[in-house]
Amino acid sequence: MRERDPESPGEFIEIYGEYVKPPDLAIAFLVTIVGGAVFYVVAPTFLSVIGMPEATRAPLSITIGLIGASIGFLVTLLFVKPKRVVVEG
Amino acid sequence: MIGFETLLLVVILSVISALVYVIVGILPGTDETATMAPIALALLIAGLDPILVLAWFMASIVAFKTADAVPVALAGIPGGVMAVPQVPDAVEAKRAGKADVILRKGITSSMIASFVALILVLVLAFYLKPLGDFLNTKDVVYGVSVPRWFWLLMAGLLVLALTSRNRLLALLTIPAFAILIQGLRLAYDKTAIISFFLGITIGPLVIELLEVLSGYARDRVRRGYLNVKLEPVSSIPLNPLRHLSREELGHVLLWPPITSILAMVMSPVGLTILVGDLLKGLKRNPLEASILAYTVRDGVKNATYIGGLLIPLLVIGAPTGPMSAGPGLPFFTEIKGVVPAKYIMANHSYLEIALTLLLSTAVAMLVAYPMLIRYSRKLTLLVFKTIPAESLYGLFLAIVVLLAYYDAGLRGVLGVFMVSIVSGILWRNGVSLGVLFMTLVAAPTLFAFIKLV
């Protein structure tokens, strides 16, 4: 079973045994880091609004930042596609 | 005292960790330190009780080190650095139509080895605990205060440097890298460790990306998609007792426990290669030799990670080998004035720690084993078809940047960049990353000695 047409896929770069399209990597990184940074920056305000004590705001901010990065990662799955053709033997 | 709520949290975290790391394990190109350490670090920084993070980490070891051989067996692609030594044997077995044979043998071996190694390590660490006080005693050598475990670390560091692909460069790197780290710490105005650690972790990825951006990667340009051929797998029974022969079971009960102890100061990947090569010498038939080496190596991977982390953590409270100074370093890193390894030992009884570790390992096994035995092929197909490498690499880089910024602001991010470039170039030229991780831990004491000259 072939997953997509391998006739005109273009050029990729092999990194760690995987085929990568550099613009896709740049976009994926940007979307993920923006997701993380926005959540990280907004987190202290959000935590003070919901009444969190000041001492716990800094560590919770990084947790919320990482949640933002994870959401960014999930968003990238919508428009970055794997560069693999899986052939089932 | 660990209550019911904590035990429930251990179970929940272990289930989530096992599910996440089965997928990470199957994905190609996922380095252990890069994928396990930042998450553990993030959980510790977020303020989660260190014993819960340890439970998470144990479950991730069991799941990751079992799942990373699945794409090796099915497609000849390693799911992590530790699975690379298994590739040639898997190719030999696949050629003989034995993909599903090595798949079930490998998964079973990982499970048995994890459990046996954990029991041995827990018993051994309990009796070695008095040794911890001896190793933590500080002596004054030429005016420098040195904890005795430092010499253990140095012994492991020298062995690792001498077994690196480029041993001369590895040896020269030790004092030079210590100077770089201590110099950057002066620039940070604090004894930062997180951003340096993350810098080493992503070194190989950063250097490959920089080469692509600089146009030096023409030899790595590929036309067309990556072809992945998945071998067919017949239905595999769940009963683990039916998967290994008596001889294989004997080797799985022997080698992983031995290597789990050696991993206290020795490299897990080095031990995995060594044991496999040793066993291959016992068999005349190349196919039988490959299947035996593949099977036992799968168990050695899990055992070395478990012993390499837990013996230093439970006995000394300081990292002494490539595992504890590498993927396990978050547990030995001071976070908000607390070293998680010392916090765990000071706030929980040995029995509580042992029960937590046994519980998280058992939960991870109960999640990973049936999943991988029954659905390895479907899971591999799903992961290969839906998760692009770009998104995954993007996520790792973003996590590293966020944690480095949290550690030391913009200086932290720039420090990560600098350390990752140096680490990546050294790695490319044959220096094991373990040498850099261990030098990072040894840097303050090494620097104090260098200043004497």
DSSP structure class, residue B225? P
**What interface predicted TM-score (ipTM) does this complex get?**
0.90
> If contacts are CB pairs under 8 Å, which of residues 169-228 in chain B contact chain A?
204-205, 208-209, 212-213, 217, 220-228
- Which of B209, B212, B228 faces A86 most closely, judged by CB atoms? B228
Domain positions in chain A: 18-79
pLDDT for position A51: 77
Confidence of residue A6 (pLDDT cuts 50, 70, 90): very low
- For residue A65, list chain B residues with Cβ-Cβ distance below 8 A: 402, 406
Confidence of residue A2 (pLDDT cuts 50, 70, 90): very low
User: Is B224 part of a structural domain of the chain?
Assistant: no
Residue A36's CB is within 10 A of a number of other CB atoms, namely 28
- Most B CBs within 10 A among A1, A13, A70, hence the mutation to make, goes to A13
DSSP structure class, residue B338? B
Give pLDDT tens digits for B404-428.
898 888 998 999 999 999 999 999 9
User: Is B230 part of a structural domain of the chain?
Assistant: no
**Residue in chain B nearest A19 by alpha carbon:** B226
pLDDT for position B29: 63
User: Is B223 part of a structural domain of the chain?
Assistant: no
User: Is B187 part of a structural domain of the chain?
Assistant: yes
Give pLDDT tens digits for B148-166.
989 988 998 998 899 888 9
How far is residue B403's CA from residue A28's CA, in Å, rounded to a whole number?
18
Q: Which two tokens stand for residue B175?
A: 């004092």
Give pLDDT tens digits for A12-69.
888 877 788 989 999 999 999 999 999 999 988 888 888 777 766 776 788 788 889 9
CB-based contact B198:B404 (threshold 8 Å): yes
pTM: 0.84
Give pLDDT tens digits for B83-101.
888 888 888 887 787 887 8
When the pLDDT of each residue in chain B is averaged and rounded to a whole number, the result is 89
Whether chain B has a CB inside 8 Å of the CB on A47: the answer is no
- The more confidently predicted of residues B50 and B74 is B50
**Residue in chain A nearest B208 by alpha carbon:** A15
Identify which of A53-62, B235-244, B388-397 has the greatest average pLDDT: B388-397
- Most A CBs within 10 A among B402, B403, B405, hence the mutation to make, goes to B402
User: Is B227 part of a structural domain of the chain?
Assistant: no
Distance of CA B369 to the CA centre of its chain: 20
- The more confidently predicted of residues B314 and B266 is B314
- Which of B384, B386, B402 faces A69 most closely, judged by CB atoms? B402
Within 13 A of B6's CA, how many CA atoms are on the CB side?
Answer: 17
Domains in chain B, number: 1
pLDDT for position B346: 93
The arithmetic mean of pLDDT across residues B323-338, rounded, is 90
Confidence of residue B321 (pLDDT cuts 50, 70, 90): confident
A20–B394 C-beta distance less than 8 A: no
pLDDT over 90 at B135, yes or no: no
State how far residue A26 is from chain B, nearest Cα, in angstroms.
8
User: Is B228 part of a structural domain of the chain?
Assistant: no
Whether chain B has a CB inside 8 Å of the CB on A67: the answer is no
Query: What residue numbers bound the domain in which B288 lies?
Result: 4-136+147-218+238-452
